[in-house]
Each structure stands twice: as C-alpha cells, then as structure tokens.
Structure 1
Amino acid sequence: MIDFKNMNRRRFMGLAGMTAASSLMLPQFGRPAYGATPLAAVKEEDAVIGFGHVGPISDEGWTWSHHQGLEAVKAAFPKAKYLEVENIPFSADCTRIYRQMVSDGANMIISTSNYGDLIYEVSDRATDVAFMECDGHRKADNLSYYYIQHWFPTYVAGVAAGLLSKTGKLGYVASFPVPAVFCGTNAFLMGARTVNPEATLQTVVINSWFDPQGAKQAGTALIDNGCDFLFGIMDEAAYLQVAQERGVWAAMWNTDIRRYGPDAYVTSIVLDWNQYYVDQVRKRLAGEWTGGEGTLLPMGKGIDRDAWGAKVPAEVAAKADAVRDRILNEGFNPFVGEIKDIDGNVRVKAGETMTPEALYTWDWSIEGVSGLKV
C-alpha cells in the first residue's frame, strides 16, 4: 500500500534560521557520516544518466520542469548517454524500471518524485550508482534527497491573495493530504492573514496530481461556496480556466501558464532545476559526488514567484514584493509561533521558530484551513 502521507513529491518543503538566499544544504537532522568517500569519477563519454518521472513531460507542470533540467544537463554534457522514463507508477513496476536503468549502465539516477522503498530496493543494491530522490526522506552513501523551499514564495502569494480577495474566502485545489499540501495551504493562509486577519482557506482534495476534470470540478465548487481566489498544487491549468470563466483570481504552481487565464492569473510558484542538476552531474563525473545529503533549493535559486499577472494592481504587487524582499535580503522568516492547529491546540509556542524538519514534514492544518485531513 502506498503511504500518501510520505509520498510528498514536492513536495514542497524551509529553512528556519536560514535566509532564502542562504546555503542550499539542508541541515542534517542527526545524520550519520554518510558519503565520506565520493563515488569514482566517470568520463563524460562513458556516463549514463537516468531520469525517472511521475508524470508526462508534456504536463506543462512538475514533470515538464524536471525535463527542462534534463535538457540543461544534456547541453552541458552532450557526450553522455541519457535514459528518461515518464509516468512511473507507484508499484512494483517502479522498482523494475529503476533496476533496468542500473542494468543499462546508469552511473547516476535522478528520481524526480518520492518513491520511497520502491526505489530504495534498487539503491541499496547498486552501491556504485548515485541516486537522487526529489522530496525523499532517506540518505545513504549513494543516496541523497533534494527539494525546494516552496513555502516562502507561497507566503508571498498569500499576501497578494489577502489584498485581492473581497470575500476573504480563499480556495485551494489539493492533490493529496501530504506535507507539501499542508505546508502550502498553511503558508498561503498565513501570508493572507497578515493583511486580512479574518481570511479563511477551504480545500478540496482530488487525490491526483494531474486530473483536469477533477480540478475543474473542485475549482467550481470552491467558487460556488464563495471563494474569490483559487490556489492549488496541480500539474495542469484546469482551475485557472475556471477562475478565468468565473471572474475570480488564481495563483498556480510549477510553471508560467497564464495563457490559460490571463485575466485571472496572479502568479505561479515557479520551479527551475536546471543549474542544480547540471552541478550534480558535474560532481558525479568529476568524482566529487557524495551521498547522504538533504538539499533545499532556496527562493531565487530554484523556486520563486512568477512575474505578476497583467491585471494585478501595482500596489498589490509592491506590498507582496516588499515581503519577498525581506525574505531574500533580511532573512525574514514568518513561520514563528504562536501557531495553533484547527482544533485550537498550540503547536508552535510563542516566539518559537519552526525548524527545517518541522516545515519539511508539516502534517497538520492551522486555524482557518478547512477540508484537509490525513
């Protein structure tokens, strides 16, 4: 059975006590001394690099962004051989696919989503192959994980939402009840409440990362319930199209897809893996790559807000960007207590800063968020 709570492929994840422009290295939470010895160097012409994706590269979303990273690697190292598999399921087929990559001579395998034990069965046996798992939760001598600090640009988008919403009712189209979604909904509402303390966020979980029909129905239901700003974590533009048709605002995820709703589009939480992937492959070829790392790409270097939509008032953009500037340039971290959950229990005490581990594994909703349960 797949544990969706730990399948947080983004999944989405912050660094308390670090600025968004700080080191890319996630502090190791009591980790052993993994990766003490780098894996052996590989000549570019002998290298085989494998990429495995959860979705289609044509999704214009999550998988497309990782495919762009692969294209950047190909441009940097044209003599290497590349393996790329789309739509890898959460089943034994996943393990077979990664085993085949190893059989095909892969020196480095990059899983652009979290597959947990399905991939660890392979990495544990192929100790001379470098494995990287996006939004993973395990490290070994030949295994590292990486992700993005999505909560910071999401908080900025929340500030804009709080300023733009007339009803104070915000809506969120959720994929699964996973940490990325809990963190995203919480960060979004926290940003909105800095300008509208009465704002609320209603979520609809559709149990898919890519389901245009489900996302359309969810967006419609949220608007029918009074929400005048939609946000979400989908790999397609369905709820943006609904927002365009219904005359409400929307913020998106992954890429710039404003053409599907130019009047409704506020911004997107945009991803850029290109330089990170090039750097990791370069280290692998040079014999400098070590496992046992957990890396979070910071705002401005892997994730950020997109350019504001054409209809966003200049004063709204300026106020939201003032918060972004504080995060980037002053080390502002908004994830400080007191923070209560939906039952009114204090989860983060007054003055206490949420740790990187807490943000990365956030699995509870703050006051004001409804409809999201594990």
Structure 2
Amino acid sequence: MIDLRNLSRRGFLNLGVAAGAGLMMPGGLIRPALAAAKPLAPVAEKDAVIAFGHTGPVTDEGWTWSHDQGMKAVQQAFPKLKTIFVESIPYSADASRTFRQFVSEGANMVFATSNYGDFLYDVAKRSPNVAFFECDGRHPMDNLGTYYVAHWYPTYVTGIAAGLMSKTGKLGYVASFPVPSVYSGTNAFLMGARSVNPNATLQAIAINSWFDPQAATQAGTALLDNGCDLLFGIMDEAGYLQVAEKRGAKAVMWNTDIRRYGPKGYISSIVVDFKKFYVEQVRQRLAGTWVPSTPILAMGAGVDRDAWGETVPEEVRKQADAARDKILGGWSPFTGEIKDSKGAVRVAAGKTMTEEELYNWNWSIEGVKGL
C-alpha cells in the first residue's frame, strides 16, 4: 500500500532530497553537477532525439501544456533535431514501457515532466548514455537530474492579496493529494494571508487527481457552501475558478493564465515557464557538457505570479508586490516561529526554512484544515 504522504508533485516515491541536491536562493538559480557524474558525449543536432513524457494531456491549459510549450521552444531553437512525446502516462508499468520505448527510438535526452520514481529509475540505470531529467524528482543519478519550481514564493505573494480581499477570512483549497507541493502551497498561501489578516484560516479538500474538472468543481462548490469566499488550488484546469465566478467569489489559480474562464473572480495564477530551462539543457546535451543537476527554478526565472486580475484593487496589488520585491531581494517569509496544525513548534523563532525543507514540506501549519 502506498502512503499518499510520500507522493510527490506529480507522482510517487518521495525519497527525500539526495546528497548533492542544489539549493535555490530567492531570485537566483543554482545548477550544481553531481560530484560523480561525467558529461555525456556530444550529439550532432541533426542526429539528436529529445523525448518528453507527460502526466496529463498537452491540451489541459495547465501543467502539461506548460511543458509542451517548453518542447516547442526546443523545436524552435534546434530545428534539425527530432522531438517525440507521450501524454497522459499512467503511474504503472506502462510508464516504464514508455520510457524504454523512448530509448529504443534513439532518444539522447528524456524529460519526465512528473515524478515517475522507480518506473523511470530502472530505465535510466539501464541506459547510461541517455540523459534523463525528472520534474519534482528526488533521486538523482549519474545520468538523471531533477528539477522543479519554487512556487511557494509567488504563492505567498498571492496569499497576501487573498488575505486583503477575503471578506470572511475563510479560504478554500482544492487539493490533489497530501503531497509536498500541496503542503507548501497551502502553508505559503495561508502565511501570506495571515501576514495581513492574522485570523485567516484555510480549508482543503483533496480530490485524488491532478486533472478532474468535475471533481474540482464539486470541491470548489463545497468549500463555498462551507463559508469560504476565496479559493486556491493546484489543479490543471479552471473548474473551481468557474465556480467562483458564478458565485461572486474570488480565486487564485495554478500553471497558466486562465482568467477568461472567470475574469471577475480571477485574482492571479502561479504560472510556470520551462522554455528557457529546456532550451539550455538541450543545448548542453548537444554540446557534450550536460551533467545531471538538481535546480529549483526561482521566482522570476521559471515561476511567478500572473498579472493581477481586473477586480484586484490597486492598494492590494501594491501591498502584495512589495513582498514580492523583498523576496526577489533575498528575503524569505518562511522564518519562525512556525507551528503545525497541532500547535507544535516546527520552526523555531528566528530560523528560516531552507529550500530543501520547503521543497519537502509534509506538514500543515496552524489554521490549515483538511490535510
């Protein structure tokens, strides 16, 4: 039986950040090489095959769509190489077969845009001359790197807007699973809200899926029925934004700008952009300089808040963006004292959480319910 607490952002087997993992300071990106890794041989552009394995459909207008845009940027930057992709890969033995198929088709580099754990690792071990990169992975190897985004910083920023705009102080969250990306999202959002409204609370409902518009709509409806007047979540579609729009509530979204589904309800979105990252990694692979690294893309360099929605007051924008500017200048809002949902002190007064701790956050702060 798999413990859902050990699910990662998009898959299974949260094994903890391994030795050699890179740390990201706010506003910057560090890409360390693993000590034992050696660069793979260069590949001529005309002979190169770059593969992408996706957890959802490329038409989701969310997570997978964002990675697909990264693939398109690679195609534009290197028009002579070949790209292949498979979407909606299940977390099962079918995933291993897909990754093996990439290798058999001559892939020189494989991006798994979700954490596929052992379904990917076994293939990587058997293919030492292929470069692998796993999004939200936690087990780097000599030919496999990991990457992710520091979404907790823009989430804190949008949380400030939420705290200022919520009339009840009751925030709702449409969750996928109880995983680190959800904990860091709910916690950062509520911490931002509580910085301007100390009495704010957050109720979460997990729907056990990353892409289920019907379930997300039902969860959003239930949260509003329970007294929440502002929604957040980590879904790959606009279900709960549409609910908020119809009910006169507000919502913060994830992945992309989807305000057209609820322009008056839309506050902002945590937007991700992998284009520059993918182009640079492929460039290194072709040049024979690629070695596995473990970057966390910083706010402003792979993840950020979207442009504010039309109904966000100017004073709210200014107050939230003042925090954003401080973060870009090196300040971290994740400094203790921070207590968990049971009242125990988890981060001592004056101590700032490390990027590793934020990446692997697996407990709820005071005021979060439902996880």
Shorter chain as denominator, the TM-score bin is over 0.9
Question: In the TM superposition, what is the alpha-carbon distance from 1:34 to its structure 2 partner?
Answer: 2.9
Q: Which amino acid aligns with 1:356?
A: E
CA 1:39–1:16 in structure 2 vs 1: closer, same or farther (change >3 Å)? closer
CA distance in 1, matches of 2:222, 2:203: 10
Give yes or no for contact 2:23–2:295 (8 Å, CA) kept in 1: no
1:230 aligned residue: 231
Give yes or no for contact 1:7–1:116 (8 Å, CA) kept in 2: no
Q: Which amino acid aligns with 2:349?
A: A
2:92 aligned residue: 91
2:30 aligned residue: 24
1:364 aligned residue: 363
1:268 aligned residue: 269
Q: Deviations over 1:183-241 (max 9, x none)?
A: 00000000000000000000000000011110111001100111011000000000000
Q: Which amino acid aligns with 1:93?
A: D
Question: In the TM superposition, what is the alpha-carbon distance from 1:16 to its structure 2 partner?
Answer: 12
1:129 lines up with 2:130 in the alignment: yes
CA distance in 2, matches of 1:89, 1:7: 14
2:182 aligned residue: 181
1:352 aligned residue: 351
2:73 aligned residue: 72
Q: Deviations over 1:278-302 (max 9, x none)?
A: 00000000000012x2100000010
CA distance in 1, matches of 2:308, 2:156: 15
Give yes or no for contact 2:22–2:31 (8 Å, CA) kept in 1: no
CA distance in 2, matches of 1:124, 1:137: 15
Q: Which amino acid aligns with 1:48?
A: V
SS in 1 for 2:146: strand
CA distance in 2, matches of 1:153, 1:126: 37
Aligned ranges 1:277-292 → 2 under 5 Å: 277-291=278-292
Give yes or no for contact 1:139–1:145 (8 Å, CA) kept in 2: yes
Q: Which amino acid aligns with 1:340?
A: K
Q: Which amino acid aligns with 2:94?
A: D
Structure-1-length-normalised TM-score: 0.94
**Aligned with 2:35 (options 30, 33, 36):** 33
Moved more, 121-130 or 349-358: 349-358
2:322 aligned residue: 322
Structure 2 spans left out of the alignment, 5+ residues: none
Using the aligned pairs only, state the percent identity: 64
CA 1:10–1:117 in structure 2 vs 1: closer, same or farther (change >3 Å)? closer
CA distance in 2, matches of 1:262, 1:324: 23
Structure-2-length-normalised TM-score: 0.95
Structure 1 spans left out of the alignment, 5+ residues: none
CA distance in 1, matches of 2:42, 2:327: 38
CA 1:267–1:83 in structure 2 vs 1: closer, same or farther (change >3 Å)? same
Give yes or no for contact 1:206–1:214 (8 Å, CA) kept in 2: yes
1:118 aligned residue: 119
Q: Which amino acid aligns with 1:33?
A: A
1:162 aligned residue: 163
Question: In the TM superposition, what is the alpha-carbon distance from 1:357 to its structure 2 partner?
Answer: 1.6
CA 1:356–1:10 in structure 2 vs 1: closer, same or farther (change >3 Å)? farther
Moved more, 112-121 or 352-361: 352-361
Aligned length: 364
Q: Which amino acid aligns with 2:35?
A: A
Give yes or no for contact 1:153–1:299 (8 Å, CA) kept in 2: yes
CA distance in 1, matches of 2:6, 2:70: 24
Q: Which amino acid aligns with 1:305?
A: R
Give yes or no for contact 1:7–1:115 (8 Å, CA) kept in 2: no
Question: In the TM superposition, what is the alpha-carbon distance from 1:140 to its structure 2 partner?
Answer: 1.1
Q: Which amino acid aligns with 2:164?
A: L
The CA RMSD measured in Å over matched residues stands at 1.8
CA distance in 2, matches of 1:63, 1:180: 16
Aligned ranges 1:25-64 → 2 under 5 Å: 25=31, 33-35=35-37, 37-64=38-65
1:339 lines up with 2:338 in the alignment: yes
Q: Which amino acid aligns with 2:237?
A: E
CA distance in 2, matches of 1:8, 1:75: 31
Give yes or no for contact 1:114–1:133 (8 Å, CA) kept in 2: yes
SS in 2 for 1:294: coil
Question: In the TM superposition, what is the alpha-carbon distance from 1:40 to its structure 2 partner?
Answer: 0.2
Q: Deviations over 1:93-133 (max 9, x none)?
A: 00000001101110000000000001001001100000000
Give yes or no for contact 2:54–2:114 (8 Å, CA) kept in 1: yes
Q: Which amino acid aligns with 1:366?
A: I
